[in-house]
Structure 1
Amino acid sequence: MKRTLLAGVLGSLLLCGPAAAVPGVDEPDTIHVKALRNPEIRKYKAILAGLDSFDRHHALAPKVPELRFRVAPRRGAGLPEALKVRIEGERDFVLPIALDAANRFTVPRSEAALDAEAELVLNQKRRLYQVMPEVRTPGLPENVRRLGDLRLECKVMFDIAKEEIPLLWVLTINSVLLTRDWCSFFAVKNDNATFSFKTGAPIVAAILSEGKRSKALETEDDEFRAGLGDADWGDEALVEFTFAGPAAAPAGATGTAAETTRTAP
């Protein structure tokens, strides 16, 4: 019952995006939680929290030189045309941001932006697009993700979320989880405790492998679900997914939603 209560509180409070879901109960001892669905990244202060998180936990993905962000369409929206991104704040503060061909970008540290209480601004409707942190080890194919990268991405996401939601919610979640590390919510050896990641296009399969071991992961449309806390799988384990159609793989895949199935003790 206690684990069910904790899961319910987490799912109810982590309403970081317009599609966040209130948890629902399928069985008396089982609860499904969805959180961080399409999280908003607006505040420059929140972006700095993500940069700090990346630096603290960089050992999870040592070959990734820096934290990047990516603008991606929400479900049903097309790719943005003539996309522009900038950091904008009080007293006419403006910091242009350079985008690559895949709509990825980095954000510099700036005391001036922090003093101006700046925010990330798109020249697109927010309801159609989302900005996501991205951690990807160089050299891997677009349909392959490294488990350590995914673990670091989880930590960055939650630390960004803590700056975007009200402080009271953060303190409440810390108290019920008995930790400030929200990713530890998934640190159980349980195939049902998973974090869901977007692939950018529909997939038909996802396989986690390390050495001679492999196992199929649960998939749904353009998502795969990976257990982040199982110490039996190291950071060098790889997730390889197969796209549903012959179209070229999208430029990058990012984690977007936390989803768990927990069974109460």
Structure 2
Amino acid sequence: MPPVTVSASQSPPAVEKSYRRMWRAMELFERRKGELAPEATLRFQLLPRKPGVSVDDVDLQLLGRTVAVPIAVAPDRSFTLPRHPRALAENAVVTPDRVARSMTWRARVRTPGWPAGSLRLGDLRLECEVGMEAGLVSEQPSLLGRLASVVTDGPGYCDTPDNRYIFFANRPVFGVTLHDGDRRHVLPVRRLWAGAMGDATLPQVLPFCDCEVLLDRAYFLPLGDRSWPDDTRVTFEYMEERDAKP
């Protein structure tokens, strides 16, 4: 009998997150919102990670051994998760129809009625804690020689003096400013663009950062500096606005 050759094409692994961890993150949000963001709501958000990747029309599902629940994704690529005890017991995953390293995830905590064009620092503090608890940050390399343990640390990381939790603005940023009454602080360059300005190793480490395609929108905040109250306003100057100035 002639030998039989079996060939199979193996699809790249899907991007997925632990439903159990995201459940814990939702519980953390409920526990901590009274202190940090009493009026805020929580959603999760899908973001592109690689050039050319679209996260529009994502088919998102909650999948367990006997559970398959479609998750509605809004036009702004955000979603909420249902409370599903059976999915929790089955250690289900939240999985989109995208391959590994093609996209990333963040929590989105927002207080309704906050001034347009600004974010509330307490919301972003809680957003970081929820994101860390849920394990949303895919990978975080060392940028500028700093060894960041964002992937393995828990919510307490958000309160450290020089944390490197990456937030993403809606558009490429030129500057980010904190406002508390008459006090004003423009973030230094080292807190913009994932701290990558002048980093000679950037071409080597960027493919391993979930900020790769959103680097010009990435920024860090002094979340652990409690001299800035939770009602501090965070405002943005965008690249397009800067370019339009005479």
TM-score by length of 1: 0.63
What is the identity, as a one-letter code, of the residue corresponding to 1:222?
R
Cα distance change on mapping 1:141 and 1:147 into 2, 3 Å: same
Identical positions, percent: 29
How far off is 1:143 after superposition?
4.1
Q: After superposition, give the CA deviation of every residue in 1:160-211 in whole Å (9 maximum; x if it has no partner).
A: 239x99xxxxxxx9xxx9x983333x1x4xxx55643111431101110011
Cα distance change on mapping 1:41 and 1:239 into 2, 3 Å: farther
Aligned with residue 206 of structure 1, among 176, 181, 186? 176
Q: Which runs of 5+ in 1 are unaligned?
A: 1-39, 166-172, 247-265
8 Å Cα contact 2:28/2:130 also seen in 1: yes
Q: Please state if 1:158 is matched with 2:132.
A: yes
How many residues were matched structurally? Answer: 188
8 Å Cα contact 1:77/1:129 also seen in 2: no
1:20-39 matches, cutoff 5 A: none
Q: Please state if 1:225 is matched with 2:197.
A: no
Q: Which runs of 5+ in 2 are unaligned?
A: 1-14, 140-148, 194-215, 242-246
8 Å Cα contact 2:24/2:133 also seen in 1: yes
Query: Which residue of 1 is the match for residue 76 of structure 2?
Result: 102
Aligned counterparts of 2:225 and 2:58: Cα–Cα separation in 1: 39
Aligned counterparts of 1:49 and 1:77: Cα–Cα separation in 2: 33
Aligned counterparts of 1:41 and 1:198: Cα–Cα separation in 2: 20
Aligned with residue 125 of structure 1, among 69, 94, 99? 99
8 Å Cα contact 1:205/1:216 also seen in 2: yes
Aligned with residue 134 of structure 1, among 103, 108, 112? 108
How far off is 1:242 after superposition?
1.6
Query: Which residue of 2 is the match for residue 45 of structure 1?
Result: 20
CA RMSD of aligned residues (A): 2.7
What is the identity, as a one-letter code, of the residue corresponding to 1:196?
I
What is the identity, as a one-letter code, of the residue corresponding to 1:131?
W
Query: Which residue of 1 is the match for residue 58 of structure 2?
Result: 83
Cα distance change on mapping 1:143 and 1:196 into 2, 3 Å: farther
Query: Which residue of 1 is the match for residue 234 of structure 2?
Result: 239
8 Å Cα contact 2:107/2:128 also seen in 1: no
1:37-76 matches, cutoff 5 A: 42-59=17-34, 60-65=36-41, 67-76=42-51
Query: Match of 2:54, SS?
Result: coil
- Structure number with the bigger relative contact order (C-alpha 8 A, sep ≥ 6) is 1
Cα distance change on mapping 1:147 and 1:180 into 2, 3 Å: closer
Aligned counterparts of 2:115 and 2:226: Cα–Cα separation in 1: 25
Query: Which residue of 2 is the match for residue 18 of structure 1?
Result: none
What is the identity, as a one-letter code, of the residue corresponding to 1:73?
P
What is the identity, as a one-letter code, of the residue corresponding to 1:226?
L
Q: After superposition, give the CA deviation of every residue in 1:194-253 in whole Å (9 maximum; x if it has no partner).
A: 64311143110111001111110132221222101112110000110122126xxxxxxx
TM-score by length of 2: 0.68
8 Å Cα contact 2:125/2:223 also seen in 1: yes
The structure with more radius of gyration: 2
Cα distance change on mapping 1:55 and 1:214 into 2, 3 Å: same
